[in-house]
Chain A
Amino acid sequence: MPDTPFIDIRHAAKSFGSLEVLKDINLQVQKGQIVAIIGPSGSGKSTLLRAINELDPLTSGEVWLEGVQVNKKLSHSQYEKHVNQVRQDIGMVFQHFNLFPHLTVRGNITLAPKLLKGISTEEANRLAEEQLAKVGLSEKIDAYPSQLSGGQKQRVAIARALAMKPKVMLFDEATSALDPELVEEVNLVMKQLAQEHMTMIIVTHEMGFAQDVCDRVLFMDQGVVVEEGPPDVIFRNPENERTRNFLRKHLAAQK
């Protein structure tokens, strides 16, 4: 076990005006760990995830990745440089895919590596082919996002994030917008990443997936981590009343 956690979130707090959405959250993730964050909507789980790459900066508290503080207080131009750098190490996958509709699948995957890592077009193309093979979409390399199904779009979005060779992947309800029959293909890709020991933080509504894949589960409600532990404990034998209520309602809704 390394002494310093790979990802270290200390006393994270965030408020919008008088509304506190995160209250003193601490989260440590080790390299290769897979953490699921579950909880009702409005619990702050997406906000916490989006704080990790400064998409929704914290009001107070610190976020560290591999000994580097992500949310450093810097002058505007230095801050911009700094976040542009650290974000390259933090891949993110969104609920609504957010593929670039004016670019082909290849263009989507190669845009950032070409611009930010200065790699040649041939290298970028190889990278795109490699990542697409990984998500099983090699034949779609020249398609536009509008020609893909939801599940395919999300797999391309994952390939796009992986092309930057991130140290950690953040998934923000990556399957919530998908038709039920398309969820599995995305889950499979995520499971494969898990097998490759990618460090992942996954905000999800899919308890089955969280149980199968994750090392740890956090249950959040009203801006605090109510309970956390191994999936077996959280899903089978949660201590907290709020966790039990949430899981009961959730499972009832899924039936």
Chain B
Amino acid sequence: MDIDLILRVYPFFIEAAWVTIQLSVLTTILGLACGALGAAARMSRLAVFRWIGAAYVSVFRGTPALIQVFILYFGGPQIGIQLDSFAAGTIALGVNIGAYMTETIRGAIVSVDKGQTEASRTLGMSRWKTMRYVILPQAMRMMIRPLGVNINALIKGTALVAPISVVELTYTAQRFIGSTYKPFEMFLLAGLLYMVIIYVAGQGIAWLDRRARIT
């Protein structure tokens, strides 16, 4: 193993890791927004919204995220959507993970005992108040861990924007392999940095989960 090489290229990898972190954070935010909207649509009283929500989930979970990234980045300009690679990657990945998060959020909400809704509605609380004050506070606690699983997948999934030249970890590793011919070291370094990011994210989620349980 070429330790000297690793020490020489390592600052570039740190910079790339920072891009991966930014991608992950923005994708998570966008994914949560899409997931919340998707779940609301899936559980709407109106069939149109339920249908849209179901279509969203099956399209984005039913096709490879890589294809979704390619369609937006390469296919977008053809239909008038011109985005730089970072924006295209973030949006494609965010909308993609949002489909998974839709099901996670919906699952947590429907897993709250039906008796909770009945008790709340019986007191005269509206659907919305019941959701806001009775169901969501309970569902939120239950969705932290499964959303953590989605976020874990999403962080690893950020590697899918390497082919559209976002200078994140995987892309950086590939670029240095091109000039150094040392794939073992380069991929190992990238992998290690992914592991650190995922570990920290996992700890954060576990912390949130513990905190939610105490109260």
Contacts and interface: CB of A to CB of B under 8 A. Distances in A.
Interface of A: 53, 55, 76, 80, 84-88, 90-92, 94, 96, 98-102, 111-112, 115-116, 157, 160-161, 164
Nearest to B122: A92
B134 A116 contact: no
A102 to B, nearest CB: 5
B137 interface: yes
Nearest to B138: A102
The secondary-structure label for the interface of chain B is: helix
A88 B215 CA distance: 29
Contact of B138 (A87, A91, A92, A101): A101
A104 to B, nearest CB: 10
B123 A87 contact: yes
A88 B124 contact: yes
Given A55-B122, A115-B129, A98 B137 contact: no
A146 B72 CA distance: 50
B123 A160 contact: yes
Contacts of A111: 123, 125, 133-134
A87 B122 contact: yes
Contact of A116 (B118, B124, B137): B124
Contacts of B125: 84, 111-112, 115-116
B116 A88 contact: no
Contacts of A55: 118, 121-122
Interface of B: 45, 113, 115-116, 118-127, 129, 133-134, 137-138, 141, 215
B208 to A, nearest CB: 15
A96 B125 CA distance: 19
A112 B124 CA distance: 8
5 contacts: A76-B45, A87-B124, A100-B116, A115-B129, A160-B123
A76 B44 CA distance: 14
Nearest to B126: A84
CB-based closest 9 A-B pairs: A98-B119, A88-B124, A112-B123, A98-B115, A87-B124, A92-B122, A102-B137, A84-B124, A84-B126
Nearest to A85: B124
Contact of A100 (B119, B122, B141, B215): B119
A29 to B, nearest CB: 18
